[in-house]
Amino acid sequence: MKYKFYIENLECANCAKKIEDVLNKDDKISSATINFATSKLSLRTDIKEPLAYVRKIVKEVEPNAIIINNPNQDVKKDHYFYLLLGGLMGLIGILIKVPFWLRIILIIGSYLLLLHRTFIVAIKQLQKKIISENFLIVISCIGAFILGEIEEGLMVIFLYELGKVIENKALNRSRKSITDLMDIKQETVNLKEENTIVKVATESVKKGSIIVVKEGEKIALDGIVIKGSAYLDTSAVTGESVPILVQENDKVLSGTINQKGLLEVKTTSLYEESTVNKILELVESATERKAKTETIVSKYASTYTILVLLISVLVAVFLPLFTDITYLDSIYKGLTILVISCPCAVAISVPLAYFSAIGASSRAGILIKGSNFLDNLRNISHIIFDKTGTITTGEFVVSEVIIFDHDYKKNDVLMLFAKGEAFSNHPLAKAIIKKYNHKVKTDDVKNFKEEAGMGISYVHNNNKIKIGNYKYCQIDDKNKNKIYLQVNGKVVAALLVVDEIKPNAERVIDKLQKMHIKVSMFTGDTKEKALEMAHFLGINNCQYEMLPQDKYHQLEKILSSKNTDDIISFVGDGLNDAPVIALSDLGISMGNIGSDSAIEASDVVITNDNLDKIIKAINISQKTNSIVKENIIFALTVKISVLILSFVGISTMWQAVFADVGVTIICLLNTLRLLKK
């Protein structure tokens, strides 16, 4: 079975990796994954109640880490007490003139209070054959004490512990910011039962129930409005900031907020099937798929720590043999290296950057299924678009009314079209009635008949009316986009009906091409219509009259001939294009958040039909990569600079603490920029 727990006091990604490795080596645990950004532990095991078992293992690896079921559960924290008391004792012992024996007691007491926590963790980890930054700090402080640099050793451990407090504050704040981004679940709902309203847990509501959504509340479950009207804030689900008006018979999605009005909604899903739950599950699972950079950092962090320890020993032992410095100086420099070289800044900021980006993307209506896919977005070299429902709206519109017999006015023609189409379920009927834009009276329509794939006929005021394609109305014009109106055997008018191009399609395609991304279009449409649309949009490569298997085979050819580093992306509506979406290097599905095929086949899901979100997703990917690089370069530059300064005798051990904890805090703050809109 799969279990999820939360880990309190998890201070660094290195610590998370160590716990994860130990858990995965345990025979009773099938798999374990720790998400450092959310402090969440996911594991699979046959143990029926694994909390106590896992808690014991974690305690051995990280004594300060606490496994809990509920993230809001209170945890005893005495870190601040030891820090304040230890710091005060050390300050008195160093600055105030007191008897020698009292000064020794104060300083040793200060060391014990400040260092005991880190010392215990280091010893516990050593017992598990783990060498971490805790061990490096302990060796540095004890070494400084032995060398007679008592004040400096005390300053190192105080600054280190103070830095950890500030670091944890910044880390928890960033975690809260990310959590707030995804705070789209409504825990309880107002369930209508006969004439009463009761508040119940969202998970307990059955499909087909009636829920009442008051002003300011989130809609808890997908459904259909059966009473009332309201303006909804859909930004948490679709990323769109403009409120939309919903009325009776309109569909509403869970996670949207009732800004103004009162609604009664008939639920069409259980919570497990709802839009909001699918989004939360996607974001949660996304953080378990690590990007290449994250994997490298996790993989080599422990090796790096051991290497640093080895270099420190070599400097301490061999530097006096080749220079004129004393062993006291060389040991001091070796201890300084230990403090400088802790890998926390990179180990914390890199995974947090990816998780922040995934959270920010989700808030913008872009669901990215993993850090690896987030990385791939910036490397897209070729995007292939499906046409219907992707570049176009997927809905027909009447773009032109063509009148052949001028005895008929435009409104008369539309009325005759609408009277017939009012009885039809054909997708074109809706577009025609919408174009007419009047209430359709059908009481004077007689002998209505419909021939599938051809058209309809009826009698109106003793006139025989036929509406349909060129074959049905027996006309030479073979334009498949036209629907003809025939009255008593004479064609009097036609409607030009097209699948409308999305308003931003031309602009988005132009932007992609300016970003040096090749754009193609695959469609099952006719050559004439496909090339006309491609020309209008500025797409040079267009494949037409394609069946689903044709798209699949064509994409296979493209993938087989691409360069290794190129990323080929296919953008479709997530339904009939699912096989091609799955085949591509990076599948993107547009809209249809409620469709299982859209979610399963694609790597990136756009929760509405806004093509601009593709550009935004690429920009977020580029910004994330930029921030990750900035953090790594900044951390290494500061550490190397302080390291060089320590060798020439300018930098001391307490400055090395800044190179560790200070850099980590700055990198965390830099990472938080990803959460800004």
- Residue 7's CB is within 10 A of a number of other CB atoms, namely 24
Q: Return the closest-CA partner of residue 292 out of 567, 21, 605, 590.
A: 567
**Torsion angle defined by CA atoms of residues 639, 645, 648 and 653, in that order, rounded to the nearest 10 degrees:** -80
Can you give the three-state secondary structure of 174-224, one letter per residue? HHHHHHHHCCCCCCEEEEEECCEEEEEEHHHCCCCCEEEECCCCECCCCEE
Can you give the three-state secondary structure of 211-271, one letter per residue? EEECCCCECCCCEEEEECCEEEECHHHHCCCCCEEECCCCEECCCCEEEEECEEEEECCCH
The H or E element that residue 86 is part of is helix 79-95
**Region of residue 26 (phi > 0: left; psi between -120 and 50: alpha; otherwise: beta):** beta
Q: Which of 222, 233, 375, 386 does the annotation list as catalytic?
A: 386
- Residue 63's CB is within 10 A of a number of other CB atoms, namely 17
Helix axes 150-181, 344-363, angle to 10 degrees: 10
Active-site residue 386, yes or no?
A: yes
- Tell me the C-alpha to C-alpha distance, in Å, between residue 364 and each of 287, 361, 612: 17, 5, 11
Beta bridge mates, 372:
none
Report phi then psi at 609, rounded to 5: -100, 25
Tokens of 564: 């290794």
- Tell me the C-alpha to C-alpha distance, in Å, between residue 147 and each of 113, 144, 160: 20, 5, 19
- Is the Cβ–Cβ distance between 586 and 603 less than 8 Å? yes
Q: Return the closest-CA partner of residue 58 out of 128, 4, 123, 136.
A: 128
Counting every residue written for the chain, the total comes to 677
- Residue 88's CB is within 10 A of a number of other CB atoms, namely 13
Q: Which residues are known catalytic residues?
A: 386
